[in-house]
Amino acid sequence: MSSQPSLAMSATHGASPAAGTPAIEALDLVRTYDTHLGVVRRKRIQVEAVRGVSFEVRPGELFGLLGPNGAGKTTTIKMLITLLLPTSGTARVMGHDVIRETTEVRRLIGYVFGGDRGLYDRVSALDNLRYFAELYGVEPSEQKHRIGALLEMVGLTGREGEKVEGYSRGMRQRLHIARGLLHDPEVVFLDEPSIGLDPVGARELRQTVRSLTDAGKTVLLTTHYMFEADALCDRIAVINDGKIVALGTGTDLKAAVANRTIIEIETFGVASEALDGLRADPDVVEVNVEERDQSQILLVQSEHGTRITQRLLTLLGDTRVGKVVAREPTLEDAYIHLIASTGGADGAAARASLEMGS
Amino acid sequence: MIPLPRSLRLVWFVTWFNVRMLLASEFFVLTTFITPLIFATLGFLLFHSGGETAGQTLLYVALGAGMMGVWSTTLFGCGGAIAWQRWEGTLELLVSAPSRYDYILAGQTFGAVVLGFYGIVATLAWGALLFGMPIQATFPLILPLSIAAAVVALGSLGMLIATSFVLYRHANALSNLLEYPIWLIAGLLVPVTTLPLWVQAIGWLLAPKWGMDAIREAAIGSSPPWLAIGMCLVLAVIYYVAARVMLRVVLDKARRDATLALR
């Protein structure tokens, strides 16, 4: 992708909020869904997807909403971009109410989501961009220049005449971003944009995301990839089971586990009884298991440094042990700790969701 | 050149884009381009076997068969386009765009209707080539006006029907339900005078009936079809206003029930 993106239009919306007004403000957002169980005897049930989410995003900030699958990230974002009505609570974007002032909000925001959907496959990328430029109210005199600049920015110049159905996932994702920026939005919502991308594609995407804040945009990024949030975001809110369980900078979040040491023990065929034995040790705070092809990596968190290592190995009994490594906790450990300690998903599930993206 | 007002430009652009999208669908092209010819062939053969071979009768059949195709295309094009957008994940993007969604929907609907009118041209050509049908019009200058009025009326009705597709992902059941009965009630297949009065009364509320009357009267009628053209325009306004009201309700409900992203 080009390293010199040209993001700003010659004339901007002039919609900056009053000084001190957050770019995004969510206050006690709640969203429940009605769904049904059974076929013959249908039983109506209510699912609480978001349960009182509050946060503020400052203008120009890159804010991350991090959580496992089903935590409520997309539901929160859809309320903020006016696609869903909150069951209760309020939210404002650049000072405009997302429930009542939908047109104003829609003029100011761009929305990009990950995955294969959201584009017209049977026409070219250029046709897609022209179409959405029209829908987003980009002035005809501005369209050609704007589309050209965005194609350059996302590295699709020269490929714009090809049908989208022939695009790779990475190219589609970059086209999504170009589409979401056509009308030069003040606030950009990126909903898991790197999902399914290969490592190179994901890295290029992160560069593009970073360039958005360099151009003065406010960005709300949802992801379940810890390293992505860590690399990009000024602040991160961790959401789990519909609630924000932590909010702060990466350093703030890491502080929750800063006094811990992570002892990684490679085992081959560890029994659940042995794991129970580790968990029962009074000096062990948390044990998570990472499954590898032939082995398991036990991630033992303790506040007693490496002093307990020998005891841990004794507790494992006859289990065949490979490498043993002690290290400082990372943000990933902090995230897993937060998710595991707030219910909804255990550490293993949280780690699994992270690994899917690494 | 004077630039088009923003709203008209948007409707025109969406219409054009939707025509291109529909033409990119082999299934749509096949049904839109072939079905009216099959209807016309069946009609010509039926009338031939009944000894009805007068030029005006054949024109009556050809126009009716063409209009049946127009109606099918309208239903499929309006509903199918939205169902398709659901599938492709673009419906949410259209609804959340800053442009008014009724303009977008109008463009999509007119794209389908305009394509559908190919059916009338095709059946006329088919009749002339294969069945010796004369191509003539009693009021040739009024005929284009009749066609335009029918396009506008059918487009507005299509838009009203399409609002249900925004809300319900299985609304195509409705479009299937509406296809054949409207052919009958609107007099596309057989004269409405053969139907009970109460059925005819339902037809008076339907754009295809007046659109068909406007075109047939201009082509083979004895007096100019001003009433039919006027009714097309009146109904178009009523449908459009109803569609806008419905759309507001439907979009509000879709935001409440979270149905826009469902496939």
> Chain B window 194-223: which residues touch A at a Cβ cutoff of 8 Å?
none
Confirm whether A1 is domain-assigned: no
Question: Of A191, A220, A249, which residue sits at a domain end?
Answer: A249
pLDDT of residue B126: 86
Q: Which domain holds residue A136?
A: 24-249
A33 and B258: CB-CB below 8 Å? yes
| Eight-class DSSP state of B25 | -
- Distance of residue A112 Cα from the nearest chain B Cα, in angstroms: 9
pLDDT value for A348 = 53
Backbone angles phi, psi at A301, to 5 degrees: -100, 135
In a domain, B263, yes or no: no
CB-based contact B256 A85, cutoff 8 Å:
yes
Q: Would the ipTM clear 0.90, i.e. be above it?
A: no
Tell me chain B's radius of gyration from C-alpha atoms: 19
Quote the minimal CA–CA distance from B199 to chain A in Å: 37
The distance from CA B61 to its chain's CA centroid, rounded to whole angstroms, is 18
Who contacts B189 (Cβ-Cβ below 8 Å, separation ≥6)?
B43, B64, B68, B183
- H-helix or E-strand spanning residue A237: strand A235-240
Min Cα distance A87 → chain B (Å) is: 8
Question: Is residue A19 domain-resident?
Answer: no
Q: Which structural domain, as residue segments, surrounds residue B137?
A: 25-257
**A183 and A242 share one domain:** yes
Residue B253: list chain A partners with CB under 8 A: none
- How far apart CA A323 and CA A57 sit, in angstroms, is 43
Check A134 against B92: CB less than 8 A apart: no
User: Do A209 and A128 fall into the same domain?
Assistant: yes
The C-alpha of A103 sits at a distance from chain B's nearest C-alpha, in angstroms, of 6
Residue B164 lies in a domain: yes
Nearest CA of chain A to the CA of B258: how many Å?
6
Same domain, A142 and A231: yes
Spatial distance between the Cα atoms of A232 and A109, rounded to a whole number of angstroms? 20
Residues A102, A145: one domain? yes
Q: Does residue A40 sit in the same domain as residue A76?
A: yes
Whether A12 is covered by a domain: the verdict is: no
Same domain, A226 and A275: no
Same domain for A351 and A229: no
Report yes or no on A40 lying in a domain. Answer: yes
Please tell me the pTM assigned to this model.
Answer: 0.81
Going B106 to B111 to B112 to B115, the CA torsion angle's sign is positive
Q: Which pLDDT value is given to residue A96?
A: 94
**A284 and A163, same domain (yes or no):** no
Q: What is the CB neighbour count within 10 angstroms for residue B242?
A: 15
CATH classification of the domain holding A259? 3.30.70.260
CA atoms B244, B248, B253, B259: torsion sign: positive
Residues of B in contact with A117 (CB under 8 A): 88-90
Q: Testing the interface with A: which of B93, B100, B101, B247 to mutate, by most A Cβ within 10 A? A: B93
Domain end call among A209, A229, A249: A249
Residue B11 lies in a domain: no
Question: Within a domain: residue B118?
Answer: yes
> Looking at the domain assignment, is residue A9 inside a domain?
no
In a domain? residue B4: no
Is A305 touching B (CB cutoff 8 A)?
A: no
Please check whether residues A58 and A127 belong to one and the same domain: yes
A135 contact residues in B (CB cutoff 8 A): 10, 14, 94, 97-99, 104
Asked if residue A189 and residue A94 are part of one domain, the reply reads yes
CATH code: domain of residue A120: 3.40.50.300
CB contact under 8 A, A134 and B98: no
Inside any domain, residue A6: no
The pLDDT of residue A58 is 93
Could you tell me if residue A317 is inside a domain?
yes
Is A226 in the B-facing interface, judged by CB distances under 8 Å? no
Provide the residue type at A287 as one letter.
V
Contact B9 A140 (CB under 8 A): yes
Range list of H helices, chain B: 6-23, 26-49, 55-88, 91-95, 101-116, 118-131, 143-167, 172-185, 197-203, 207-220, 226-257
**Location of structure tokens 């519909």:** A242
d(CA B18, CA B237): 22
Count of the separate structural domains present in chain A: 2
Which candidate in A78, A134, A172 is best for mutational testing of the B interface (most B CBs within 10 A)?
A134
* Residue among A317, A354, A145 nearest A238 (CA): A354
Assess A44–B contact: CB distance below 8 Å, yes or no: no
Nearest partner of B70 among B15, B139, B122, B141, judged by Cα: B122
pLDDT in tens, chain A (358 residues): 444 444 554 434 445 556 678 999 999 999 998 877 777 777 788 888 899 999 999 999 999 998 888 888 989 999 999 999 999 999 999 999 999 999 899 999 999 887 778 899 888 999 999 999 999 989 888 999 999 999 988 888 989 899 998 998 888 888 988 999 899 899 999 988 887 777 877 888 888 888 888 888 999 998 877 778 888 899 999 888 889 888 888 888 888 777 888 899 999 988 888 888 888 988 888 888 888 888 899 988 888 888 888 888 888 888 899 999 998 888 778 887 777 777 654 455 555 444 443 3
Query: Residue A156 domain-assigned?
Result: yes
pLDDT of residue B162: 84
Is there a domain that residue B176 lies in?
yes
Nearest CA in chain A to B4: A140
Test B95 with A122 for CB contact under 8 angstroms. Answer: no
> Does the beta carbon of A103 lie under 8 angstroms from any beta carbon of chain B?
yes
Q: Are residues A74 and A200 in the same domain?
A: yes
On chain B, the residues whose CB falls within 8 A of the CB of A103 are 98
**Using a CB-CB distance cutoff of 8 angstroms, which residues of chain A are in contact with residue B88?**
117-121
Tell me if chain B has a CB within 8 Å of the CB of A135.
yes
Of the three residues A249, A280, A311, the one that is the final residue of a domain is: A249
Q: Using CB atoms, which residue from A85, A103, A120 is nearest to B98?
A: A103
Q: Which residues contact A52 (CB under 8 A, 6 or more apart)?
A: A28, A29, A30, A89, A242, A243
Contacts of B193 (CB under 8 A, 6+ apart): B200
Q: Name the domain count of chain B.
A: 1
- Model pLDDT, residue A357: 39
A120:B21 CB<8 A = yes
Sign of CA dihedral B236, B242, B245, B246: negative
Instruction: Please name the helix (run of DSSP H) or strand (run of DSSP E) that holds residue A191, with its range, or none.
Output: strand A187-191
Which residue reads 């659901």 in tokens?
B86
* pLDDT tens, residue order, chain B (263 aa): 556 688 889 999 999 998 888 888 888 788 788 888 888 888 888 887 877 767 778 888 888 888 888 888 888 877 777 777 788 888 888 888 888 888 888 888 888 888 888 878 888 888 888 888 888 888 989 988 998 899 889 888 888 888 877 777 776 777 778 888 888 888 887 888 888 899 889 989 999 899 999 998 998 888 999 999 999 999 999 999 999 998 888 888 888 887 777 65
- A–B: how many Cβ contacts below 8 A? 77
Residue (of A116, A160, A108) closest to A136 by Cα position: A108
Q: For residues A64 and A194, state if they share a domain.
A: yes
